[in-house]
Amino acid sequence: MLEAAGHSVTALDMSASGVNTKTMEEVLTFDQYNEPLIEFMADLAENEKVVLVGHSLGGLNLAFAMEKFPEKISLAVFVTAFLPDTVHQPSYMLEKFIENSSAVAEGWQSVVSSATGYETFMKSTAFNLTPPEDLSLQTLLKRSGSLFLESLSKANKFTKERFGSVVRDYVVCTQDLLVIPSLQRFMIEHNDVKEVLEIPADHMAILSKPQELCQCILEFARKHA
């Protein structure tokens, strides 16, 4: 949909994710996990700028790219994503997620690192509005993952001068049962977010409400990029 609207789109798989050939045993830190995005940003032409869109844990991928390459990013869009601040460690919002939704967080950490219970858990949380065939495909393609809490808790804080200089917009997914709306709004309140749009999507907005999500991204880009 974004390409049909005239945009060039690059969808990256992080380390040990999607078709990336690394295994999770080789990816011990968030920096290692984020290498594909950092390499992509480093390879951009000097005068080229991009709009970054991050979903869920991907908000932290965006944040590290914003800290390292603020001059190459015209806009960062967070879609029911973890949005860190400049006061706490990068792990802080993940820790709030675990603290506020302990049962859901523990279930998520359990199923992303194992093969059991994934489809049942995700149907009741992240994929509650998503067509069942999309969840079935996701279950077949699933790979083990990590929240990288330990490495994020030791990482440097993001800075107002670099991370904070990039324009940030946020898409709140009001039917998200994983990263619940109150946590999404908590993260927005702790950041200088330019604009917020809401859509009635579950956690997997790209599957449950793709047209509405696309319109949000296009509107943000038109106004702020």
Catalytic residue among 15, 55, 56, 169: 56
Joined together, the tokens standing for residue 138 give 């996701």
Q: Is 56 a catalytic residue?
A: yes
Q: Give the chain's radius of gyration (CA, Å).
A: 17
Report how far apart the first and last C-alpha atoms of the chain are (Å, whole number). 18
Q: Is 8 a catalytic residue?
A: no
Taking the CB of residue 6, how many other CB atoms lie within 10 A of it?
A: 7
Which class for 206: exposed (0-12), middle (13-18), buried (19 or more C-beta within 10 A)?
middle
Any long-range contacts for 22-25 (C-beta under 8 Å, 24+ apart)? Answer: 24/143, 24/144, 24/145, 24/146
Q: Is 203 a catalytic residue?
A: yes
The alpha helices in the chain, defined as continuous H runs, are 30-33, 35-43, 58-68, 92-100, 102-112, 118-124, 132-141, 149-154, 181-189, 205-208, 210-224
Task: Please spell the DSSP secondary structure of 150-189, one letter per residue.
Answer: HHHHHSPPP-TTTGGGS-EEEEEETT-SSS-HHHHHHHHH
Catalytic residue among 169, 176, 202, 208: 176
Catalytic residue among 15, 101, 146, 203: 203
Residues classed as catalytic: 56, 176, 203
